[in-house]
Amino acid sequence: MSNQDFSKFERLNAQIDIWIDEEEYDNVGSLFSFTLSPIYKEFLNRLFNNTDGETGTKTCTKDENSAWGYLCPEDEHIKGPAERQLPFTHVRLTCNADKHELTPDWSHLFWAKLVRAKIQQKGTDCYLRRLENVMAYLEKHLPRFDPGDSQTLKPYIFYLLELAACGIGPDARSFAERVKRIFLYKTPVEDEFKNFYDLLVRYNMGLGHFHDGRFQEAVREFNFIIFDVEKKNKSNKKFLDFYIYRHGDKLLYQPAIMFRAEVQLKLQLAYHALETLHICNDLRNDPSKNYKVAKANLIRVQANQFMRSANSSKDFFNQVLQFLGIAAQIDIDDQSISVWKKALDALNVKDHDKIKYQNIILQLLGLITAELILMFRQLLEDKEDKKNKNKNDLAEELSGIPEIWKNVWASTGCWQNTTTVSDGDILNRLLNT
């Protein structure tokens, strides 16, 4: 494979990671749908879609345990996995581009990424646990490499980084550390490759620390990425070209900034979180089209909630609603509970599996409910209100919220059998969260 073709696959590899991070799962599926072999296409449908006339959304994987064990189709003639057939023999670098031939290493890696995208799109606990099966598949097909040959060493590194992306906490850190150990020794890869993927290693290690609650270690990794990117982009033209070609800002720099702000929120440093988001101009521009700007605005909302600045929150709420394409807007001047109820009603879509940006919607629902609960508590604590309102009046103020959360929890698998749960149980759960 020529260096030029290899670089194109490497760029596509980075783009897929960005699509998964930004919930653009359909882009991943459509990219591969034209080149996925028929047996694997049927197998994918079996893992993720209902069959035999079932209705509703498939949320459980237990009926396909053997299939998940192999993570590839079974050949009825040899009574085992049909490994002789690759998932892909060719791939299009964009949806309308010409096909490019794939090596087995790239084929298995892209198959694992496609399955990971489908799993994260489902988002239920039962599906997310199947990331362990993706990790097993990657380890089984881990490329053999010659320490003196960059063309075999690089795919090995990409597999380790994909294993880190599938893992949580210690798993994410351990596979990232394996790449870090490779870079400690003299390797045949160019300096730009080593510097760029060392930053991606640090990002995965930071995520691992973050999910383990080791916030100081996480911030240390995110800070290194932020400052190193800014330094190298000013002084190293060769690295800058390498970085831009592989979508470095969206893959590394912007996520590192947002996770540093997330850590600061965890530590109740709301003002510092807002200051962190000001580092990057791209996290402030064009909120109607940019996923990461919408995510940054959710952080701003939460920071303003911590600082009891409700009006500032409303402006960022409206920008996120605009990004989601929801016409309803929150009236900044309206101080009543009803304004938040209207926003919840606008997000009350029963079939969340068919909605794009589910993670943003769920976070937005939680933050709007937090505003409502805060106002509800203030009403309960206000002596003046206690004289003029009884519990029935307060319950009326919050009517409609339980039904919305029944839909959310049922569709995401967070609370099964919601039809048996009373409105009072749901309100108690929200109030005690």
Q: What is the pLDDT of residues 299-324, one digit of tens each?
A: 999 998 888 776 677 788 888 888 88
pLDDT confidence bin for 232, thresholds 50/70/90: confident
Domain assignment present for residue 278? The answer is: no
Domain assignment present for residue 263? The answer is: no
Domain assignment present for residue 185? The answer is: no
Copy the structure tokens of residue 246. 């592989």
Question: Domain tally for the chain?
Answer: 2
Segment 271-300 shows an average pLDDT of 83
Contact 201, 155 (CB under 8 A): no
Task: Please write the tens of the pLDDT for every residue from 83-100.
Answer: 567 888 888 776 566 777
Instruction: Output the pLDDT for position 177.
Output: 92
User: φ, ψ for residue 184 (rounded to 5)?
Assistant: -70, -25
Whether residue 427 has pLDDT greater than 60: no
Angstrom distance (rounded) from CA 408 to CA 181:
43
Residue pointed to by tokens 């020794």: 185
| Residues of the domain holding 36 | 1-107
Secondary structure letter of residue 88 according to DSSP:
B
User: φ, ψ for residue 100 (rounded to 5)?
Assistant: -120, 135
Classify strands 74-75 and 80-81 as parallel, antiparallel or unpaired.
antiparallel
Copy the structure tokens of residue 191. 């300096």
Whether residue 420 has pLDDT greater than 70: no
pLDDT confidence bin for 56, thresholds 50/70/90: low
Domain assignment present for residue 53? The answer is: yes
Instruction: Output the pLDDT for position 416.
Output: 47
Q: State the pTM of this model.
A: 0.84
Domain assignment present for residue 232? The answer is: no
Segment 139-162 shows an average pLDDT of 88
Instruction: Output the pLDDT for position 412.
Output: 46
Domain assignment present for residue 333? The answer is: yes
Domain assignment present for residue 35? The answer is: yes
pLDDT confidence bin for 78, thresholds 50/70/90: very low
Residues 351-386: b if buried by 16+ CB within 10 A, e if exposed: ebbebebbebbbbbbebbbbbbbebbeebeeeeeee
Instruction: Output the pLDDT for position 41.
Output: 86
Task: Please write the tens of the pLDDT for every residue from 172-229.
Answer: 889 999 999 888 886 778 889 999 999 999 999 999 999 999 999 999 999 999 999 9
Q: Which of 349, 359, 323 is nearest to 121 (CA)?
A: 359
- Return the number of other C-beta atoms located less than 10 Å from residue 143's C-beta: 18
Instruction: Output the pLDDT for position 111.
Output: 93
Average pLDDT over all residues of the chain: 80
Segment 134-153 shows an average pLDDT of 87
Q: What's the angle, vertex CA 286, arms to CA 307 and CA 320, rounded to 5? A: 50
Angstrom distance (rounded) from CA 99 to CA 111:
16
Instruction: Output the pLDDT for position 206.
Output: 93
pLDDT confidence bin for 256, thresholds 50/70/90: very high
Chain centroid offset of residue 293 CA: 14
Angstrom distance (rounded) from CA 261 to CA 65:
39
Whether residue 52 has pLDDT greater than 50: no
Instruction: Output the pLDDT for position 197.
Output: 95
Task: Select from 91, 107, 123 the last residue of a domain.
Answer: 107
User: φ, ψ for residue 337 (rounded to 5)?
Assistant: -65, -30
Task: Select from 67, 86, 107 the last residue of a domain.
Answer: 107
Least confident span in 121-130, 255-264, 269-278: 121-130
Task: Please write the tens of the pLDDT for every residue from 360-419.
Answer: 888 888 888 777 777 766 666 664 555 555 545 555 555 555 555 555 555 444 444 545
Angstrom distances, CA of residue 125 to CA of 122, 129, 300, 334, 415: 9, 6, 28, 38, 11
With a CB cutoff of 8 Å and minimum separation 6, the contacts of 250 are: 18, 22, 292
Angstrom distance (rounded) from CA 140 to CA 105:
11
Angstrom distance (rounded) from CA 256 to CA 227:
10
pLDDT confidence bin for 358, thresholds 50/70/90: confident
Copy the structure tokens of residue 283. 């996290």
pLDDT confidence bin for 75, thresholds 50/70/90: low
Domain assignment present for residue 375? The answer is: yes
Task: Select from 61, 78, 107 the last residue of a domain.
Answer: 107
